Amino acid sequence: MKKLLLSLCIPGIVLASAHSNQTLSYTWAKAETQGDRDYMEDTSQILTSKPTNQSFFAVFDGHGGNFASRAAVGTSSTAKQRTIQAVPELLLTSKSSGRYRLEDAFLKFEQQFLARGDTSGTTAVAALLEQQAKTWMLYLAWTGDSRAVLFNKDGKVRYETVDHKFKGEELKRVQNAGGKVESGRVAGLAIPRSLGDKLVKEKAGKGVIIADPDLKKIVLLPQDNFLILASDGVWDNISSQEAAQIVHNAYYNKKHYQDEQINSGKEVSGSNNAIKRAAKALMDEAYRWSRIRSDNISVVVIKLNWPKENVLQNKKANVYPIQHITRLTFDIQKVLQTLYKVTPFPVHKKYIAKALSELSKGNLEGLKKTLAELSRLTQQNINFAKNILRLEIVLAHLINNKFDEASKEMAELKRKCVDK
């Protein structure tokens, strides 16, 4: 496993996935561009386990700064961030089931984020793909105008989330709560639901601008083919059905882009050229169709690959839930942040910052190399060197998919380094 199957992206990297033909397999890609904006406020995230029985995908479209969207995926390293748990971390600790785990994660993030006093905000759309016995479930949660679209092998939309805008039932909810809509906005905000936006929510009044996500539970069927998650930089210009057709056509048409066009630059990353081609096509079309100054655009496309006989087996041996991998990743991050805080040496801080950067990219080989360099620099500080060595051991187990061994070693490292 060359890279950790956790992608914290700004812009991010989507990693390859190949699973047993006895179960549903899926690959994914992401494409993102700053557009004509001065800076990037979108973030996206992919979490999966290998072998896998569940995966998490999300797009966060920030506004008023990128701190909220970065905090949502856990990539902000400021002191303020350390008291805010990222959405996927909160997902792991939720005692609810199914789609309500997503709701818990959204609302707990909102509570922690508002308590820190930052004024930025973000929309969110998240998908949890989970195997239950012989059935695959798709759970969706969304707050704001980022959207998810599920479509079938004929390119026809089966389900699309409904954007939260000041229209219809959502407008009635806002008005009943005492909200005043002026020029399509309330207190300057163009959406009635978001995460964060502390000052806007205070100005608008209690219960006007809310973080509560809408939720959807879908039993996946063999004809389901693609899932798209994207920020409003796509949906401002393209309908759900148009997006489905663009992705469908690009995936199955090798002539849509040359391989060198797909793989040049950092805008597109993914499992293979076909899925990357689909994500890039949707991003490019959204940008091309922009009628005004282009917004940030973030696209995540997931391709569902069903076995021919649709036999879904849940092998108990060597199946490591998503919680194992994600928890280890956050623990590594916490250890590195603790070491950064306690070391008085600038050169140590430099390499720890580099290690955190490699971790955020999901690049385990890069992290391994950085830790080796750091280990050579810390030989004179015995306790510090021991902690780095333990991290290297955890990483070696993780690379070799030995999650039980990695967890045991990490527990001892946390006891001596973080929890003391």
pLDDT digits (tens, 9 = 90+) for 335-356: 888 888 888 888 889 999 998 8
| For range 176-194, the mean pLDDT | 93
The residue type at 161: T
CB atoms within 10 A of CB 27: 21
The residue type at 162: V
pLDDT score for 85:
84
The residue type at 122: T
pLDDT score for 70:
87
pLDDT: which is higher, 140 or 18: 140
- pTM score: 0.69
d(CA 148, CA 227): 7
Burial label, 279 (beta-carbon count in 10 A; 0-12, 13-18, 19+):
buried
E strand spans, 153-207: 157-160, 195-196
E strand spans, 76-134: 121-132
Q: Is 332 helix (H, G, I), strand (E, B) or coil?
A: helix
Tell me how far the alpha carbon of residue 281 is from its chain's centroid: 21
To which H or E segment does residue 397 belong?
Answer: helix 382-399
pLDDT tens, residue by residue, 90-149? 887 778 877 899 999 999 999 999 998 889 999 999 999 988 877 899 999 999 999 999
pLDDT tens, residue by residue, 206-229? 999 999 999 999 999 999 999 999
Work out the percent of the chain whose per-residue pLDDT is above 70: 80
pLDDT at 18 over 80: no
Confidence bin at 259 (pLDDT 50/70/90):
low
E strand spans, 197-285: 214-219, 224-230, 268-270
Q: How many helices (H) and strands (E) does the chain have?
A: 14, 13
